[in-house]
Amino acid sequence: MKIYNQTNFFKYTFCEFKQVDIEFPEDKIYKSKSESSYYYKDEGVYRKSNHWGRVGNCRWKITSKENYRNQQTIIGFAKWVDFFHINATDNVFFIDVDFERETAKVQPKKEETSHYLFTFSEAQKRTKQITHLFKEDKWTRYYEEAIPVLRKKIITPFINSKKSLKEIKTQVKGTKQ
């Protein structure tokens, strides 16, 4: 596992910052070209910014206290151990699905897990497809099951295998109960 600090955390990483309320010390910061400010501590980094999500070659999310909108300046904090390397070959991310809230989220593997693991880009692509399954229900008219049951039958194997969404839908359609 790679160790991150102020010299390398901004190179191809995934991180989820948590919103904090602090006085940002303007005299002890690093300011980026995009006008974001960084304040380094031994345990992590504070970031003051009005843009989150795709940041250069990184994917940095903000867990905010209110609904965050881009262009709204927020201060977030992340520990150095909260940064994870993004590359095209390492399967170190899983997809966390909340069927009640109808949400799907990419999560890094922080410890041993039984979750099926993907590369970041594959997990992101699948999360987008799952979000579509939750938002749209036109596709369900070809099945004879309740929509919530059907979603669970399709999404569960989708986040636990390499199978494509099309393969799983075909299998579910072929196994009518």
**Domain range list for the chain:** 13-85, 93-174
Distance CA 8, CA 103 (A): 31
pLDDT at 84: 92
pLDDT at 4: 93
Helices and strands per DSSP (H, E), number in the chain? 3, 10
Cross-strand partners of 106: 95
Residues of the chain with pLDDT under 70: 1, 68, 70, 175-177
pLDDT tens profile 121-131: 999 999 999 99
Q: Are the beta carbons of 173 and 139 closer than 8 angstroms? A: no
Q: What is the pTM of this model?
A: 0.79
